[in-house]
């Protein structure tokens, strides 16, 4: 199985492969989407969180295009919604040629949960936390559906993995609530 992970910073690129490496999978972290073709799990740092794409070049689109035939293609973004979350998700979806997008931004062990499609940090909507005052990338919105609505995309909210599966049969973009690591395991 070939799993490919596109991330927007180096820490995320390392985090993306860690759980696979712990279970004995062969992993690699790259700064370009070429190379490591025989490795099971490859994560790419696009270094795109703080930068707008330049004309004719978008690292997320390039990676999604290069890895369009991966068995599993993941776009890992910041769990506090910093960066170009909706734009990068939609870019990767279009460039990969895939039709469905499952969004799961929860990181419960760090206090980051998703409830009713809204990201919370220790129970507080993320835009009302210190991340809302971030000097570089202030988070202005906690609602994942609202982020996508700005791009004219409707996102359905699933309360659990079973509902997400049912919604994906009918809708193209679904965000899943998750409050615990056990719920994330079921979603995975």
Question: 167-185, pLDDT tens digit by residue?
Answer: 999 999 999 999 999 999 9
Q: Could you give the count of Cα atoms lying within 13 Å of 141 in the half-sphere of its Cβ?
A: 13
Distance CA(59)–CA(106), nearest Å, equals: 24
- Give the pLDDT band of residue 53 (cuts 50, 70, 90): low
* pTM to 2 decimal places: 0.90
State the Rg of the chain over Cα: 16
% pLDDT > 70, the chain: 95
What pLDDT is attached to residue 107? 94
DSSP character for 2?
-
Joined tokens for residue 108: 């419960």
Closest among 100, 122, 110, 123 to 176, alpha carbons compared: 100
Asked if pLDDT for residue 73 goes beyond 80, the answer is: yes
């Amino acid at each position: 199985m070939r799993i490919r992970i596109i991330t927007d910073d180096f820490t995320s690129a390392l985090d993306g492969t860690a759980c696979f490496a712990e279970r004995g999978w062969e992993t690699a972290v790259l700064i370009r989407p070429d190379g490591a073709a025989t490795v099971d799990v490859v994560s790419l740092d696009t270094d795109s969180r703080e930068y707008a794409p330049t004309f004719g070049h978008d690292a997320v689109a390039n990676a999604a295009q290069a890895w369009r035939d991966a068995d599993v293609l993941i776009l890992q973004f910041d769990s506090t919604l910093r960066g170009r979350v909706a734009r990068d998700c939609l870019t990767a979806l279009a460039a990969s040629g895939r039709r469905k997008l499952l969004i799961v931004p929860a990181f419960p062990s760090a206090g980051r949960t998703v409830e009713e499609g809204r990201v919370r940090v220790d129970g507080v909507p993320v835009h009302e936390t210190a991340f809302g005052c971030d000097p570089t990338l202030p988070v202005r919105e906690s609602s994942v559906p609202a982020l996508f609505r700005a791009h004219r995309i409707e996102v359905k909210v699933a309360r659990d993995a079973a509902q997400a599966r049912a919604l994906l049969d009918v809708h193209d973009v679904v965000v899943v609530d998750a409050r615990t690591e056990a719920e994330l395991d079921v979603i995975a």
